[in-house]
Amino acid sequence: MKNRFRKVLTTAMAGTLAAGMLAGCGSGSGGSQTADTAAAADTAAAESTTSAAGGDDLVSKMKVDYDGEPVQLTFWYLSTRSNSQAICDAWNAANPDIQVKISLYDTDGIKDACKTAAQSNSMPSMWFNWGGSLGQYYVDNGLTYDLTQYAKDNDWESKFNSGALSLVNLGGQVSGYPTSYNVIGMFYRKDIFEQYGIEAPTTMDEFDAACAKLKESGVTPITTGGLNGWHPMRLIEQFIEYYAGADEHDKLQALDESWDTDAVVKGLAKYQEYCQNGYFPDGFVTASPDDTKMAIETGTCAMDIQGQWYDAAVNTDGFDASNLGWFPFPNGTKRMSAFAEMTQFNKNLSDDELKAAMLFTEKWFSDDVSTVYPDDFNLPLPYQGAEIADPDHQPHVMDMLNYSSENGTFTITDQALPSECADVLFSGQDAIANGQSTPEEVAKNVEASIESYKAK
């Protein structure tokens, strides 16, 4: 496939992103540059704040051995990881020769910011990303550092768990440093299920019955936020897995099977049924997916389809994760949806910059930091033999990961499909929910987008 940039974002969107960058912590300037007097100022500022951001102990743990030239790097990361600035400040205080400016974005903001930077060739030194088609874009357009040889030289096959490493291998190259491996299940309020006599469902019929019982009892069954599409997609892909089975679903994701098929139509029709039955909150199509946990914490909704990081997310809000239960979605195959997260690196990094960036990344995603701020990480870290330091604090994590190891996974849809095809699916989801399109029409539209993608 030819390398092609997608259409440039509108001026209005660019303005919004610029405002978001200014609101983020750090300067957010693209690329990397040799450290100068600004680095010294940054170090002084970091030193003045570390006592409130992890303390001297964290600073001492952040110190690394580096024998290269002083460098200043830029790092774009997620604002949902609430202690990111504190971690970066501690790093800068400990490592004056490797200064890092961090800019923080929400889940969809970082996707837009990176795409905008790609258009102007102003990517940061390193940036958060996901595997699959989301990370593939930067490989296809020649923006990422090819880490294949680095991975061989440093024996990454022995370092990382195989699932995480395979999901960042894109376009024939190791495209990033794996930072998490995630699986998706259904979380639920145990007290609500108990109040209405509902057991964790193990079949689709039981799941349908649980939703109906909750709705009849005045509780919205499932919280979701349709903004940008990816949260309700998690439910739709489970419906497709149920009707297609594992083999056909894998072919659909590999674009080896037409999406204009009975299993896809049935999966979308099941989603339509849930919309019509009122199983989602009013106005969910335009609601933020980052806010779904609020409905669980307040008890206005009973279930949320999320990954093992959900324990940390609710703990951060002061809600005890032990009040939740989880179950694998009853899709008939027992497989769980899975995806990886990673740090990607700018292809233009010098040898010293790459060395420094890798030291920074390895330290950030280490036990030294994750034990101080466990709720800032999708634990366990994706290393061979990694475990949860405090399983009582995040009680569902290892159970979910062990279940996925025993029963298998499929790649989450928005990483399996090309981005432009996933966007058509997202638009179709909205149209179905709003009564503006049928499952048959959406299936045809997704297949048409796939054919257009293949024709490039």
Beta carbons of 341 and 182 less than 8 angstroms apart: yes
pLDDT digits (tens, 9 = 90+) for 261-286: 999 999 999 999 999 999 999 999 99
- CA-to-CA distance for 304 and 310, rounded, in angstroms? 9
What pLDDT sits at residue 389?
82
Mean pLDDT of the chain: 89
- The CATH superfamily holding the domain 11-182+340-376 is Periplasmic binding protein-like II (3.40.190.10)
Per-residue CA distances from 152 to 89, 156, 226 (Å): 32, 6, 41
The per-residue pLDDT for 456 is 86
**Residue ranges in 261-396 assigned as alpha helix (H):** 262-276, 292-298, 310-316, 351-364, 367-370
Whole-angstrom Cα distance, residue 252 to residue 196?
A: 38
- Higher-confidence residue of 438 and 52: namely 438
Residue 353 has pLDDT above 70, yes or no: yes
**% of the chain at pLDDT higher than 70:** 88
- Does residue 295 have a pLDDT over 50? yes
The per-residue pLDDT for range 365-395, each reduced to its tens digit, is 999 999 999 999 999 999 998 988 889 999 9
For the chain, the domains span: 11-182+340-376, 184-338+397-454
Give percent above pLDDT 90 in the chain.
Answer: 82
pLDDT above 50 (res 3): no
The strand pair at 126-130 and 169-170 is best described as: unpaired
Binned at pLDDT 50, 70 and 90, residue 54 comes out as low
Same fold, 11-182+340-376 and 184-338+397-454: yes
What DSSP character marks residue 149? H
- Of residues 56 and 343, which shows the higher confidence score? 343
Query: CATH number of the domain at 184-338+397-454, out of 3.40.50.720, 3.80.10.10, 1.20.1740.10, 3.40.190.10?
Result: 3.40.190.10
pLDDT, position 45: 41
Average pLDDT rounded to a whole number, residues 79-107: 96
Residue for token pair 């999406």: 259
